[in-house]
Amino acid sequence: MKKWINHPKVEGKASRQAHCDLPEDTYERELGKEGFFGPASHMYHRHPPTGWSDFEGPLHPRAFDTTKIETESPSPWDASELMHNASTRIRSWTCSGRMDALARNSDGDELLFVHDGAGDLYCDYGHLRFRDGDYIVLPRGTMWRIASDAPVRLLLIEATGSSYMLPDKGLVGPHAIFDPAMLDTPAINDAFRAQQGEDEWKVVVKRRNRLSTITYPFNPLDAVGWKGDLAPVRINWRDIRPLMSHRYHLPPSAHSTFVANRFVICTFVPRPFESDPGALKVPFFHNNDDYDELIFYHAGNFFSRDNIHPGMMTLHPCGFTHGPHPKALKHAFQAKAKATEEVAVMIDTRDALDVTGAAEAIEWTGYVDSWKG
């Protein structure tokens, strides 16, 4: 048995309620365990905790612009790998339209986030239409391909050696944020049957990050039916109904969408700002010392960042304080609009992410200096 060392105390000038009614002329910083689920303390500082004048070393915050990746390919195995650790691989892929072979990931479940474009996905289980903003979860071993009349830009997130699951929604119950009934699955329909045939098809399988090719004298997507409780699922960010509190700024963990081994995926979607005069309207400064934080910006204007446009990614390694950009601080208690407008995908990993050369080639190296007040 083990138990956290727990002894709540108050020292000096402090707010009794986190993220609300801060002492005058102070900036709040949260130090916590287990992301936002474990014990935490809140410091109240005279200066912004990100008000550094210089930052040297590999821990600095970083930003990457995936819109600068110009390569198109019919295969997801040609995607630009940007970051990875033992639990996940994160890739940016522009599908040239129609895949000329089937893909199968035998290293773990694959999550496709459609950043731009629309089309059809064919897999073992049938046919699925997709559009921008869709999450598509493909269980490990699923054979699949994309067919589209125009290029499709996707973020690929592999759950290496594990599976995607839904988060425990606790007190709000399983139907909050999105009802599981909103998850769409592929259909054995006319479009699926029409693509079947006796033409030769290849399946390119990834295992231990190496590729093998299996050739069939027919299309192996030839199912006539299936049953069970394992299947690809799709949900669009437009179907997510975020948790909100008009009197309290909720932590990012309240916006969890999928969980896997040693990382979690959250979705930020438009929502009203907090209306209580004493409640923070921007993310609170926090250390998040148990996770690396990677955010992919899909659409809109991310209210707590500056000079970030759709298609960019930011990486905040654990070990330093981060929070709202300096320009966002002036709106900490007075929102500049009635609601947020950003859509973003956040990947929080328990283990440090390794940044690849492909990511460094599209890095905005001035991002760390943009935090200077």
Q: How many CA atoms within 13 Å lie on the side-chain side of 99?
A: 27
- The one-character DSSP state at 177 is B
CB atoms within 10 A of CB 9: 6
| Catalytic entry in 42, 249, 255, 298 | 249
Binding-site annotation, residues = 286, 292, 322
Binding-site annotation, residues for Fe cation = 286, 292, 322
Smallest CA-to-CA distance from 350 within 286, 265, 291 is with: 291
- Residue 336 to residue 273: CA distance in whole angstroms: 9
Binding-site annotation, residues for homogentisate = 322
In the three-class reduction of DSSP (H, G, I as helix; E, B as strand; rest coil), residue 144 is classed as strand
| Annotated catalytic residue 249 | yes
Smallest CA-to-CA distance from 49 within 273, 228, 359, 316 is with: 316
In the three-class reduction of DSSP (H, G, I as helix; E, B as strand; rest coil), residue 370 is classed as helix
- Residue 314 to residue 62: CA distance in whole angstroms: 6
Angstrom CA distances, 195 to 103, 164, 201, 202, 216, stand at 16, 29, 12, 15, 15
Three-state helix/strand/coil letters over 330-361: CCCCCCCCCECCCEEEEEEECCCCEECHHHHC
63 token code pair = 């930003």
Place of tokens 């594990």: 162
Show which residues are catalytic.
249
